[in-house]
Amino acid sequence: MPELDPAGLTVLGAGVAGLAVAAELADRGVAVAVVDRGGGPGPHACSWWAGGMLAPFCEGENAEEPVVRLGREAADWWQRHAGTVRRDGTLVVALGRDRAGLDCFARRTERHEAVDAAGIAALEPDLAGRFRAGLFFRDEARLDPRATLSAIRARLATRGVAIRAGETAEGAVIDCRGLAARDALADLRGVKGEMLVLRCPDVALTRTVRLLHPRIPLYVVPRGDGVYMVGATTIEAGERGRITARSLLEMLTAAYALHPAFGEAEVVEIGVDARPAFRDNLPRIRRRGRRIYVNGLYRHGFLLAPAMARMAADLVMGGERPEVMDEDRPER
């Protein structure tokens, strides 16, 4: 297998995966270049539309063990590299008729404490009297994806790592092109996610709140100044640019169920993108000659990029074989 030359490495793609890999390599003294077809992170990257939840324990409801374990590295890593992390936990609530859903969520996840109506009111006074029971995941965190991408980009620039606009690179490459890498990774698929940004100064939530609902599970992430990211759908489709009336209706209905004041919110933004995912929704590192692919971050871009970057950098430096590395079979 050809050697990778750490002196001439290019990271292709400046979404969350690419920027995390570049930062991790820069930490280890590698002179890395970053090339992105959009010139840097922006609305063309899936990372732009993320909620920014660093919620490994809640994600354990649906995700497999590696996501929960590797995701626990994320908050400290982002705090060190971007300084944008808020460690205020996640509150999970369910409407009265969906109490069974809460019990099921509790059984499938760890590191939570049960909270009653008084506990919910103490954590989130604006939800007082609205929910009888919930779960509080004290150890979870969040960040603002756009502020974080911009902060890590700025920190990379101070270390001499600028982002160049372009679509190709010669030599050794770490390919972090997200869904665009489908041209080389035949088993990569898109999973559509739709989100909203609402301005609702009449609601003052201070942390991520998840509403369990049999059909419309919802999360609301505060961005400050009465602005909330509300998301997100998870639909088996690679399409990136169109929200359906149904998704819009359902997300707004769920937000209204969380707090009726959301009925008066201003819709600031509607976002749609497709998450890059492999069949089992777990991330992968693959090597093909002088190219290393870091991809398949699915719903967990910010959550898993630090662990993926650590493992990709280990591989480049000739260290341990990443646990998420699989054999490359290009025909897949």
- List of residues contacting ligand FAD (CB under 6 A): 12-18, 35-38, 41, 44-47, 49-53, 167, 176-178, 180, 193, 195, 231-232, 273, 275-276, 295, 297-303
Q: Compute the distance between CA of residue 259 and CA of residue 34 in angstroms, rounded to an integer.
A: 43
Residue 250 near residue 195 (C-beta atoms within 8 A): no
Q: Compute the distance between CA of residue 330 and CA of residue 13 in angstroms, rounded to an integer.
A: 20
Please choose, from the candidates 80, 79, 147, 71, the residue with its C-alpha nearest in 3D space to the C-alpha of residue 111.
71
Closest contact distance (angstroms) between CB of 332 and ligand FAD is 18
Q: What is the DSSP letter of 190?
A: E
Q: Which is nearer to ligand FAD, 92 or 133 (CB)?
A: 92
Q: Which is nearer to ligand FAD, 123 or 304 (CB)?
A: 304
Residue 152: in which H helix or E strand, if any?
A: helix 145-158
Backbone angles phi, psi at 152, to 5 degrees: -70, -35
Closest contact distance (angstroms) between CB of 37 and ligand FAD is 4
Q: Compute the distance between CA of residue 33 and CA of residue 187 in angstroms, rounded to an integer.
A: 27
Single-letter amino acid code for the residue at 37:
R
Closest contact distance (angstroms) between CB of 62 and ligand FAD is 13
Residue with smallest beta-carbon separation from ligand FAD: 15
Closest contact distance (angstroms) between CB of 29 and ligand FAD is 23
Closest contact distance (angstroms) between CB of 134 and ligand FAD is 19
Secondary structure class of 119 (helix, strand, coil): helix
Q: Which is nearer to ligand FAD, 103 or 139 (CB)?
A: 139
Pairing assessment for the beta strands 173-175 and 291-295 based on DSSP bridges: parallel
Backbone angles phi, psi at 53, to 5 degrees: -75, 130
Closest contact distance (angstroms) between CB of 140 and ligand FAD is 11
Q: Which is nearer to ligand FAD, 45 or 265 (CB)?
A: 45
Q: Which is nearer to ligand FAD, 133 or 233 (CB)?
A: 233
Q: Compute the distance between CA of residue 300 and CA of residue 277 in angstroms, rounded to an integer.
A: 10
Q: Which is nearer to ligand FAD, 17 or 25 (CB)?
A: 17
